[in-house]
Structure 1
Amino acid sequence: MCGIAGIFHTEGQKPVDPDRVRLMCDAIAHRGPDGEGVWTAPGVGLGHRRLSIIDLAGSPQPMASVEQDAIIVFNGEIYNFMDLRAELQALGAKFRTDGDTEVILQAWRHWGTDCLKRLHGMFAFALYDLRQRTLLLARDRLGVKPLFSARLTDGSIIFGSELKALLAHPAFRYEIDPLAIEDYLAWGYVPDHRSILKGVEKLPAGHYQLLRHDAPALAPVQWWDVSFADRAKGNADDLGAHLLHHMREAVTSRMLADVPLGAFLSGGVDSSSVVALMAEASTSPVKTCSIGFDVAALDETAYADKIAAQFRTQHWKRTVSPDDFSLVDRLAGMFDEPFADASALPTFRVCELAREHVTVALSGDGADEAFAGYRRQTFQHREEQVRRLLPSALRGPVFGTLGKLWPKADWAPRPLRAKSTLLSLATSGEEGYARSLAVTSPELRARLYSPDFRRLRGDYRAEQPFVDLMRNAPARSGLDRAQYADLKFYLPGDILTKVDRTSMAVSLEAREPLLDHRLIEFGASLPENLRVRGNTGKWLVKNTMRRYLPEDVLFRPKMGFVTPIAQWLRGPLADEARGLASSGALARTGWFDAAQIDAVAEAHIAGRMDHSRLIWQLLMLRKSLDRLG
């Protein structure tokens, strides 16, 4: 795992200052503390920070091909590189190293951009071909590894693994994009189709871009997509056997490393499944790490302990206490863009714990998106059945009216929290699912914005790109479309951003075996009743893992990483909540109605309402804006 950065001049003979590339790399030194390098030629400069994982001494970067006609900087891991190496050697390719980086160089030389389809793994890389004087920027299928870019006023293009690499370039000038504020308030993160800064772009997952000197920049090209359009045939036992085969291959392929390797273990289905398959494949005890809370209702460590004992892992755990809110400023610095998923805090803590014992950790991320493990997906499946029974002309007036009249009751037992369901049923499946995933509703955002910001926002609504993505999905059902949007929008924007930044902050490589693209494609082909059955999501995964895991791990209610932010915002962070509208960069923007924010904060602090997610969003936004200046 590493960090990359670079400069590409559209005027092909213009020299690149290596010190500027070095500055950009220094800004992301945490991603690669084991080595550094800069290479420049007329019109291009590439920089690299290395975290050594495979071929520890033999694969420094930037790396040139044996033929000296291509140079690469690469962030990630190619898990099938040994098979590709053998195939390329049969075609006459020569190698000087034992790692995966040189395999990408030779794959490019032999197969061009088609090489991307042969790479199994997580990656973002920049490869400069001296013969064609072309720069290839590429990102893996699911977007595990990030890549940011921006065009400077002189026409040159800068790029890097994190936004802070771009910010380190002395000629980079920026301003906040107000549409990103609308996106962030809706989702709790800035999705991949936008950046917090105008002019900054994120290469979309499963895309590549070719840049040529003295030619207009070509738009990114999609080289991979997942389709839910076809259905696998077979009974549950047969398809379960295929599933287990894919899961075993995904886990074992990610256990290759020349450094200590372990796993995150929350005690949930996904991380427990990964640990079970690691234990099956390993001749030595698996190293596992867990984080718990000193708030009993939020703590899952008893389940993690149970799995650790069952598979005899070498297990470490740590408790996150309520005073961990002191990490808020550090979190803002990790993400550069505002990021309000509060589970980033325990994710950082478990990465920190893991780094004390290993350099690589396997996680359970991805199965919920691929196999319908989220409660919202199960609800969407049911709601779509209702939509099919009732015409929209009836649903809109009836459910819309009921939804507006029904009180918002976050404190009530789940069956009484019907407001969001009623409002969802009043709309299309795509609009309803967007509403279920959004952190703040369009109505609430409208109340929070000042008149000036509403003018800046214009007709744009954050939900529209998400709705369009669902409507255009290669899919057959509402559940398909929901999962497709989760994989393409929510996963790279929230989950993978969280894991990448928190792991890289402590120089830890996180690997996601359940995001193996073959496993994802298999999950997309499953009949709906093998994904959702009754009230149970991710049914085939749970049924298949019965041979490994106890029932109380497989079928207990999903918790995920949660934090006691509601209590923090009524206690040690209450003053921060009260000052949101009147201090710092947030207040200076003039984008928000200060009286509305004050009312939200006071209602929460007094315990009349739970506005913790919204206040946390605004708090993280303020801290990000303060850092950007």
Structure 2
Amino acid sequence: MLSVGAGYNATLRKLILFRSIFGNLPLFYIHIPHRFVLFSTSLSGIISHKLVREQYLNLDLKRIQTHLDVGQTETLTHSVNTFYSFIKLVPPGHIVEFNESSVKIEKLTTFRLSRWDNVLKTTHDVTDAFFSLFKQAVELSAGSTSSTPIATHLSGGLDSSSVSAMLRYIQPDRVLHTIHNKSKFADSDESAYAIAVSDKINSVHHEVYQSEEDFELIRLLTAAHGQPIATKMPPTLITSMLLYAKDRGCEVLLSGSGGDSIVGSGFEIFQHAFETRDWALLENLLEKRAPYFSYSHMYSDWDNLSSEKKVDLVKQFYFYNRVVRQKHKGVSQVVKTYLDLARNTDLSHSYFLKRAWTSLMNRANKPSVSGTLNIAAHDLIEASNSKQQPSFNYPASLADSLGSTAANLFTDVFNPTINRSQEGFFDLGNHIGISSRSPLQNKALLELCMAVPDTVKYGNGLGREHFRNSMRHLLPEVVVNRPGKATLTSAYGQEITFRLWNQAKEEFMESTNIWSFIDRKKFLGEIAILENEQIPYTQKSNTWCHVTRAVTLHTWLEWMSSSGYPISY
């Protein structure tokens, strides 16, 4: 199936553009009623057109504001907007129909979960179906040119490991380079898992320290993409992987991107059990989950505790977090939830008191992290709010008629911010001559995983059981059964963001463009958080996003200025 396409009906004088559901190949357009339509997979190509450059290159203030908002409160409703007011994006899984005076967006893709109704009768049926579809997805992404080497980004997690192992399974003789980003920090070092996979599949394995030229790589990405990069962290890792794979003679780099949300874990069953007040099911789920938890950061003797004690602590931890998550609904809801759990479960009052007291003491003894969700300048917020714009939420459009569960899932799977990041890496790959692809971003796989009951996904408490079972014969046991993976709330996130800021700050602070869009006081407050060594990494994720987004916005504005494009709105 084509990723993008166009059709024209000369009789009706109608143009149609379409884009596949998981098409990382972007398709942009500008439509000026009764004058012209211009479309391209290259945003840079559209803005360089003489007519667009001279008359239609106004900046989209609302889009800039949402870029600076880590809360992303309006990202979904403005999902087809670019950073240029007149230029729009064809949303994945949709068609855009033009006539001389108007534009209409319609859903192209439908989901048919009913095809699995009488097929998935046993867990073996699920395993077989997943393996078959995953194999087809990897075959499609890898292509049939086995004479050329191919690369995978092998992090050591279940997703990237499965992509690498399946690729070797279907193309046993092809030269396969597995590229692992070697971390300098113990809390994000997964090299042992990657080596275990590489040894099993006999790949040419590379441990690579990503480039430290963060600011220069953002400049490169921005010039290729034509607008700010949408990542929450400096995009050095995937950029380094693409460049390294290209240097090894590869034309394709496969990854496990998107697997978490598409495959699913089954953990949603906790919410179902709580909402339906199925207390027996809830406690059973927690008992199954307990062996895969580790609270060694809270209990130094965790490994020596009895299994019964661990189960009890896991339950109390869940109950406590369930109550705390009600804070945004008000005190009455917190009390109601607490009493509900106390009446129906073995909630420990003493555990709650101890946790609450510890939380208060930690707040008193640690620096206050009073960051902000939006660092946009006041004038930008006022100006963007004063301009009414038509909105379109394509994740909601795709989920229409599938129910609330699908709506929540699609907000994650088809998140516009993630999609824009992938479009940026398509542009970079196109620029340097390599294609970045993720086999897990596959419609048939998504339909299957939506049809698999949460109880099957949850399995024995590890989660993702349908995925793990299908890969057991291809992956090392240590990878199949690993309960989690490294996160970016680590020393790695701090180092890379701090390094980016040090590289960019002189040019950034002297800029004449950026301060029209960013609140200086708010931003410098985020820099103070970034530079404060007493604040734990777990409280800095919003700050890392703010700094990265500010630098990518600055880089785009400077690129616009140096390229002779007008900065007007």
* Residue 550 (structure 2) aligned to one of 618, 622, 626: 618
Out of 110, 124, 138, the residue aligned to residue 251 of structure 1 is 138
**What is the distance in 1 between the residues matched to 2:491 and 2:89?**
29
Determine whether 1:524 maps to 2:413: no
Closer, same or farther: CA 467–209 of 1 in aligned 2, 3 Å: closer
Report what 2:262 is aligned to: 370
1:177 counterpart = 2:60: yes
Q: Deviations over 1:304-327 (max 9, x none)?
A: 222122111233442215455542
Corresponding residue SS for 2:57: coil
- 1:256, distance to aligned residue in structure 2 (A): 3.1
Give the Cα separation in 2 of the matches to 1:419 and 1:622.
40
Name the CA shift for 1:168/1:445 in 2 (closer, same or farther; >3 Å).
Answer: same
User: Displacement of 1:347 after TM fit?
Assistant: 0.8
- Tell me the alpha carbon deviations over residues 107-142 of structure 1, each in whole angstroms, 9 at most, x when there is no partner: xxxxxxxxxxxx3xx511234466776543221122
Cα deviation 1:412-439 (Å, max 9, x = unaligned): 99979969962687399xxxxxxxxxxx
Equivalent residue letter for 1:359: E
Decide whether aligned partners of structure 1 residues 291 and 547 sit closer, same or farther in structure 2, where only a CA change above 3 A counts.
Answer: closer
Aligned-pair identity (%): 17
Counterpart AA for 1:605? E
| Cα separation, 1, equivalents of 2:322 and 2:518 | 26
In structure 1, list runs of 5 or more residues that go unmatched. Answer: 1-118, 391-410, 429-440
How is 1:21-32 mapped onto 2 (pairs within 5 angstroms)? Answer: none
Q: Deviations over 1:209-233 (max 9, x none)?
A: 3445xx3344122110336689744
Trace 1:273-292 onto structure 2 (pairs within 5 A): 273-292=162-181
Number of the residue aligned with 1:452 = 379
Query: 1-side partners of 2:85 and 2:69: how far apart?
Result: 18
* Cα separation, partners in 2 of 1:495 and 1:352, compared to 1, 3 Å: same
Structure 1 residue corresponding to 2:85, chosen from 195, 198, 211: 198
Partners of 2:29 and 2:532 lie apart in 1 by 44
Tell me which residue corresponds to 2:156: 267
Residues 424 and 576 of structure 1, relative CA distance in 2, 3 Å threshold: farther
Distance in 1 (alpha carbons) for counterparts of 2:445 and 2:142: 17
State the AA in 1 paired with 2:148: P
How far the C-alpha of 1:285 sits from its partner, in A, is: 3.8
Contact residue 230 and residue 525 of structure 1 kept, 8 A: no
| Equivalent residue in structure 2 for 1:628, among 556, 560, 567 | 560
The CA deviation at 1:301 is 3.3
Q: Distance in 1 between matches of 2:140 and 2:493?
A: 38
Give the letter for the 1:516 counterpart: N
Quick one: which amino acid aligns to residue 619 of structure 1? Answer: V
TM-score w.r.t. length of structure 2: 0.70
Task: Count the aligned residue pairs.
Answer: 466
Structure with greater proportional helix content: 2
| Inter-CA distance 347–289: structure 2 relative to 1 (3 Å threshold) | same
Match of 2:236 in 1: 345
Whether the 8 Å CA contact 2:156–2:191 is kept in 1: the answer is: yes
- 2:165 corresponds to which letter in structure 1? A
Offset, 1:548:
1.5
Q: Does 1:320 align with 2:210?
A: yes
Amino acid at match of 2:262: A
Structure 1 residue 186 corresponds to structure 2 residue 66: no
- Compute the displacement of 1:148 (Å): 0.5
Query: Counting strand residues as a fraction of each chain, which structure ranks higher?
Result: 1
User: CA separation in 2, counterparts of 1:422 and 1:169?
Assistant: 51
1:626 CA displacement: 2.1
Contact preservation (8 Å) 1:473, 1:484:
no
Question: 2:70 aligned with 1:220, yes or no?
Answer: no
Change in 2 beyond 3 A, CA 1:567/1:421: farther
Question: AA paired with 1:566?
Answer: Q
* Aligned equivalent of 1:13: none
Work out the CA distance in 1 between the residues paired with 2:398 and 2:171: 44
Aligned to 2:495: 567
Q: Which residue number in structure 1 is paired with residue 292 of structure 2?
A: none
User: Against the structure 1 CA distance between its residues 553 and 323, is the aligned structure 2 distance closer, same or farther, given a 3 Å change threshold?
Assistant: same
**In 2, Cα distance between equivalents of 1:426 and 1:471:** 29
117, 120, 124: which one pairs with 1:237? 124
Match of 1:94 in 2: none
Paired letter, 2:531: I
Q: Per-residue deviation at 1:449? A: 3.8
After TM superposition, the score normalised by the length of structure 1 is 0.64
SS in 2 for 1:564: helix
Residue 485 of structure 2 is matched in structure 1 by: 558
**C-alpha offsets along residues 63-96 of structure 1, whole Å, 9 cap, x if unaligned?**
xxxxxxxxxxxxxxxxxxxxxxxxxxxxxxxxxx
